[in-house]
Amino acid sequence: MLPVDRLPPPLSQGLALTALAPMQDVTDIHFMGVIAHYGSPDYFFTEYFRVHNSSGLHKHILRSITENATGRPVFAQLIGESVDDLVRIAGALSHYPIAGIDLNLGCPAPRIYRKNVGGGLLRDPDMIDRILGALRDAVKGRLTVKMRLGFDNTAHFDRILDLINRHHIDLLSLHGRTVKEMYHSDVHYDLIAHAVQRVHCPVLANGNVTSAIAAGAVLTQTGAAGVMIGRAAIRNPWIFQQTRQYLSGQPMTTVTLAAVRDYIERLRQVATAAAIPERARVSHMKMYLNYIGQSVDAAGAFLSEMRRAHTETELFGTCDRYLLSDPDQPFALEPYPGLVARPRAETAHAAVAS
C-alpha cells in the first residue's frame, strides 16, 4: 500500500482517515460549512462536475473549492465518459486549490448509469482503463477514484482493482455494494477487505458507516485506511468528531435533542433562500429531516408528522415539539431500527429509486 502521507495531512496523526462522501444536491459549500461547524472530516469531496463535450466548471460546485472556509482539503469529483473532456476539465480544475481529482465510478442513480457514466462504467473495464490512463497522464497531482463493487455483479471487480494499481491511483473510496444493490442490501465488507489487500493505495470503506462505533467496527473488519461517511453525516454532523474521539479512546460528545434543533436551524439559514417559494424550501428541508428523524424517536412519530407538513410553520413547529419538549434527551447515535430515510430506495421490496 502506498504510504498515507501521499495524501493531505489528516486532522489527527495516527488515526484512521475520515471523509465526507460526495452526495449530489447535498454536499455543496453550505453543507460543508455546517459539517465543519460540528467537526470536519479529514477530507471533503465536491458534488460531481458532469463532464461532456460542452461542459464547463459548474459555478455552484466550484464555489465549494474557491470559497472553502472549512480549513480542510477538497477533492474535485468528475463524472463522465468522454476521455478528452475529462482531461480538459481536470486541466481546468488544476488552476484551483484542489486536493486532487476524483473520478466517480459508483453513482447508482438509473438516470446516470443509463448514460454509461458513474456506476454504469463498471460494466466496461476497457473504458475505465482508457479514462484512468488519460487522467493519470494529465493530472500532475493526486488522482483518486470512488467506486462500487460492480454493476450487477462482481465479475470485473478484481480487474478494475488491478487498473487502480496500474494507473497509480492515490486513494480508492469503495462502497461495498454493487450499483444494482443501491442502498437496500447488506454491505459486503469482506470485499472491501479484499480490495485493501489487493490495491497499492489507501482505501476508504464506504457504506452503512452509521456511527463512530460502526466506523471502528468497519475499520477492524476491512483493514481500511479510513471511512467515508455520507448519509449518516446528514443525520448526525457530529459523527466525524465522535469518530476521532472513539478511535483515540476519548469520551464521545453527547448530542442532545436541543443541539439537533440548533443544527436544523443552521441548515435552514444556509440552505434555503427567501426568494425560493415556500413549498420548495419545505421540500428541501425535508431532505435533511428524513435522515435526522431516524434518531429522534423510536416510534418514528417525528418522521411521520414531519412528512405531512406543508408549510414552514408546520414543519418547524413539529421540530420544536419533538426536539424541545425534552431538550436534554440524548439524540440516538444509531438510527432507530426500522426507520429509513428513503423507504423507496432503502427497503429491499421497493422499487429502485435514485
State the catalytic residues.
107
Identity of residue 257: L
Identity of residue 304: S
Task: Give 293's Cβ-side CA count (13 Å radius).
Answer: 27
Joined grid coordinates for residue 290: 428524513
CB atoms within 10 A of CB 5: 10
Joined grid coordinates for residue 77: 469529483
Q: Are 103 and 76 in contact (CB under 8 A)?
A: no
Q: Are 119 and 150 in contact (CB under 8 A)?
A: no
Rounded Cα–Cα distance for residues 18 and 12 (Å) = 10
Residues in CB range of 325: below 8 A, 6 or more apart:
none
Joined grid coordinates for residue 319: 421540530
Residues in CB range of 162: below 8 A, 6 or more apart:
198
For the residues of 303-352, what is the DSSP string, one character each? HHHHHT--SHHHHHHHHHHHHHSSTTSBPPSSPPTT--S-HHHHSTTSPP
Rounded Cα–Cα distance for residues 9 and 263 (Å) = 28
Residues in CB range of 53: below 8 A, 6 or more apart:
82, 85
Alpha helices in 199-256 (DSSP H): 212-222, 231-235, 239-247
Rounded Cα–Cα distance for residues 259 and 265 (Å) = 10
3-state SS, residue 143: strand
Alpha-carbon distance values, 108 to 208, 273, 353 (Å): 15, 29, 9
